[in-house]
């Protein structure tokens, strides 16, 4: 199942820099592991925002929820999820 996910990050301004940097380092490692596994297929930064658009390829809504809630930055995010399906006019064979 493919999902389009928008993540807006709002780290509190009063969070100590060393704490924020540690959380961001864990976030990067977690997301890169998911990308290597094929679960997190795409990630794009939104210009001028602390936000991204991502595409996830997971088995279920529950798996996506587990992945998203496991993000170290999850407590500081607003997340919007849109389910996707292959468009009949797509020429890409890997758009499943």
CATH number, domain at 37? 3.30.70.1060
pLDDT digits (tens, 9 = 90+) for 24-72: 999 999 999 999 999 999 999 999 999 999 999 999 999 999 999 999 9
With respect to residue 53, please indicate whether it lies within any of the assigned structural domains. yes
With respect to residue 12, please indicate whether it lies within any of the assigned structural domains. yes
Which residues form the domain of 41?
A: 2-84
DSSP assignment of 31-73? HHHHHHHTSEEEEEEPTTSSEEEEEEE-S-HHHHHHHHHTSTT
Predicted confidence (pLDDT) at residue 9 exceeds the cutoff of 90: yes
Tokens of 15: 């969070």
Question: pTM (2 decimals)?
Answer: 0.90
């Amino acid at each position: 199942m493919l999902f389009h996910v928008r993540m807006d990050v709002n780290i509190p301004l009063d969070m100590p820099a060393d704490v924020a940097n540690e959380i961001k380092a864990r976030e990067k490692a977690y997301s890169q592991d998911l990308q290597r596994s094929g679960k997190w297929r795409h990630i794009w930064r939104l210009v001028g925002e602390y936000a991204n658009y991502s595409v996830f390829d997971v088995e279920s809504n529950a798996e996506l929820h587990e992945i998203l809630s496991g993000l170290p930055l999850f407590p500081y995010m607003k997340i919007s999820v849109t389910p996707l399906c292959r468009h009949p006019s797509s020429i890409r064979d890997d758009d499943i």
